[in-house]
Amino acid sequence: MSPYLLEAYIVLVGLVILMLEAFVPALRKEHLGVFAIGGLVFGLVLLFVAKAPAHPEGNVEMARFYAFDSQAIFYKGLALVCTILVLLLAIDYRAILAKFTENPGSEEGTGEYYALPIFACAGMMWMASAQDLVSIFVALELVTITFYILVAYMRRNVGSLEAGVKYLILGALSTGFLVYGIAWIYGTTGTTDLSLMAERLQALPSATPALFGLALLLLALAFKIGAVPMQLWIPDVYQGAPTPTTAFLSVGSKAAGFIITLRILKPFMDRESVPEIAQHTTFILLVLCGLTILYGNLAAIPQTNFKRLLAYSSIAHAGFILLAVTAWGKGSETTLSTPQAVGFYLATYLIMTIGIFFALVTIRNATGSEEIAAFDGLGKRSPALALAITVLLSALAGLPLTAGFYGKFFAFRLAIDADLWFGVGLAFIGVAAGFYYYLKVIRAMYWRTSDDTSPIAISPIARYAIGTLTILTIILGFWPNPILWLLGA
């Protein structure tokens, strides 16, 4: 099967869900979510069946914009898995969603919430394949515009609306930077095709205009991945948005942002052919990565709202991944290359983060609160849930024998190989701070007591999802090979 049909199929699934929503009013809305998940699971099957076209040059229009290498396949899979989990989360979250949409009390207004993530997923899959600045731009805008809607979806909730407006304004600003950067790069190199960029950069009389364009592009990418200096929106938007959207933003949107960051940086980080440009780019990235690690980890310490804490932790993780990007290791038989380390980090990050968000939705459904105080006494109320949260949080902190450890380990190793001691030093401070603020939640669960001692009600979806993701976190902690095989290492 031709890979070009993959995204067409995903868009079709989205359209079918929309049509069902509109024309079959008898259908219960959460069943739309189940159909959507079914469609996306079949999409995963198609992804394994799809083969790169034998003669891509026969279809010039597509071949220029669409790469189907192992990296693209990996990130497409990541986008699909993430969307499936987010839809499960949305089904679990629908009671709260219904409260703040049309006709509160019924689920009338929640139908589109199951269709929109599918379009975002198609956009992320296009981003995974994009190898031309034009297709990067359109795919990225598709994802961003879908997220504007998903963030503001609970329109009877002031927090969600405020988050939507903030995301819209900063998103529009970063789009401006992106287009302006693309214009500069096109103006200096005469091409938007990233595969031709390397040789064009080599032939430039002066690298300054291209670097100026790249700096603007990096600003826009920093918005997508949640890095300094475009990180200010993250805490407010993450806190205000519906929780499934927050999970989607923090995993799916970030992963898609990193794949295009890797693709855009590739010609600029080529140390052999353009040493001068690579040196400048490394310096910019090192500054961004150091500031991101410091900001994310240190600002997370005083937080009392768990969703806000996860927002800062999301910035911190973007910083650790940027450390691997800054190192830009080529990889050898014994070490991972930068794209592999980034892919591994994002895959483990997906498992841990979505697990934690399932737990958060469960707690929110039961207690109506997202504060850390809502976790008080959880160790006595629901020991199994508390244990799962403990494992997931320690994995996010990077405790050895959990999946989170290997992600950080590979990033650090790349940075040490590249002699980025400044970045490594800051990252160690970040990891230490991380242990402190994640353990604060664990302390609340086991050392604090709550007046309410009844066990927390867990829906079957959340039970299976949290269970599976927690077990995966532990298994990948001492046996990370499955993800490494997918990455071709």
Partner 1 sequence: MPSIAFYIFSLIAVTGAVALVAFRNPVSSAMAMTGSFIGLAALFVGLNAYFVGIIQILVYAGAIMVLFLFIIMLLDLKSEERSKPQPLMLAACLVIPILFLVQLTGVLQSTKDEPHKPLNLVASAKHFERAEGEQETIIHQNLAKEELPDVHLIGLTLFTRYNFPLQVVGVLLLVATIGVVSLSKRGSDRPAKPSTDS
Residues that bind partner 1 (CB under 8 A): 11, 18, 28, 60-62, 64-66, 94-95, 98, 102-109, 112, 115-116, 119, 122-123, 126, 134-135, 137-139, 141-142, 145-146, 148-149, 152-153, 155, 205-206, 208-209, 212
CB of 123 to partner 1, least distance (A): 8
* Rg for the chain, CA atoms, rounded: 22
The whole-angstrom distance between residue 392's C-alpha and the CA centroid of its chain comes to: 17
CB of 59 to partner 1, least distance (A): 10
Tell me whether residue 154 or residue 356 sits nearer to partner 1 (CB atom). Answer: 154
3-state class percentages of the chain: helix first, strand second, coil last, to nearest 5: 80, 0, 20
CB of 384 to partner 1, least distance (A): 21
Q: Look up residue 70 and give its DSSP letter.
A: H
The whole-angstrom distance between residue 93's C-alpha and the CA centroid of its chain comes to: 20
CB of 372 to partner 1, least distance (A): 26
User: If you write DSSP's letter for every residue of 341-370 in order, what string do you get?
Assistant: HHHHHHHHHHHHHHHHHHHHHHHHHHHS--
* 6 vs 62: CA distance, rounded Å: 13
CB of 361 to partner 1, least distance (A): 14
User: Which pairs from 398-403 meet CB under 8 Å and 24+ separation?
Assistant: 398/431, 398/434, 398/435, 400/477, 401/474, 401/477, 401/478, 402/473, 402/474, 402/477, 403/348, 403/351, 403/352, 403/472, 403/473, 403/474, 403/476, 403/477, 403/480
CB of 167 to partner 1, least distance (A): 13
Tell me whether residue 64 or residue 408 sits nearer to partner 1 (CB atom). Answer: 64
- Extract the tokens encoding 294: 């410091």
* 434 vs 297: CA distance, rounded Å: 6
Tell me whether residue 35 or residue 409 sits nearer to partner 1 (CB atom). Answer: 35
- Extract the tokens encoding 476: 């990948």
- Extract the tokens encoding 387: 């244990």
CB of 205 to partner 1, least distance (A): 8
* 337 vs 246: CA distance, rounded Å: 30
Tell me whether residue 117 or residue 329 sits nearer to partner 1 (CB atom). Answer: 117
Tell me whether residue 208 or residue 279 sits nearer to partner 1 (CB atom). Answer: 208
Tell me whether residue 197 or residue 487 sits nearer to partner 1 (CB atom). Answer: 197
Tell me whether residue 141 or residue 417 sits nearer to partner 1 (CB atom). Answer: 141
Angle at 439 between CA 433 and CA 444, to 5 degrees: 140
CB of 92 to partner 1, least distance (A): 10
390's CB contacts (< 8 A; 6+ apart) are: 442, 445
- Extract the tokens encoding 435: 């242990």
3-state secondary structure of 228: coil
CB of 179 to partner 1, least distance (A): 13
The whole-angstrom distance between residue 224's C-alpha and the CA centroid of its chain comes to: 9
Of 34, 6, 5, 40, the C-alpha closest to 20 is 34
CB of 184 to partner 1, least distance (A): 8
CB of 304 to partner 1, least distance (A): 26
Tell me whether residue 69 or residue 108 sits nearer to partner 1 (CB atom). Answer: 108
Tell me whether residue 71 or residue 146 sits nearer to partner 1 (CB atom). Answer: 146
Tell me whether residue 138 or residue 384 sits nearer to partner 1 (CB atom). Answer: 138
199's CB contacts (< 8 A; 6+ apart) are: 273
120's CB contacts (< 8 A; 6+ apart) are: 83, 142, 143, 146, 147, 150, 248, 252, 253
CB of 145 to partner 1, least distance (A): 6
Tell me whether residue 224 or residue 308 sits nearer to partner 1 (CB atom). Answer: 224
Tell me whether residue 103 or residue 334 sits nearer to partner 1 (CB atom). Answer: 103
CB of 354 to partner 1, least distance (A): 22
Tell me whether residue 134 or residue 387 sits nearer to partner 1 (CB atom). Answer: 134
Say if CB 66 and CB 129 are below 8 A apart: yes
The single residue listed with the structure tokens 């629901």 is 382
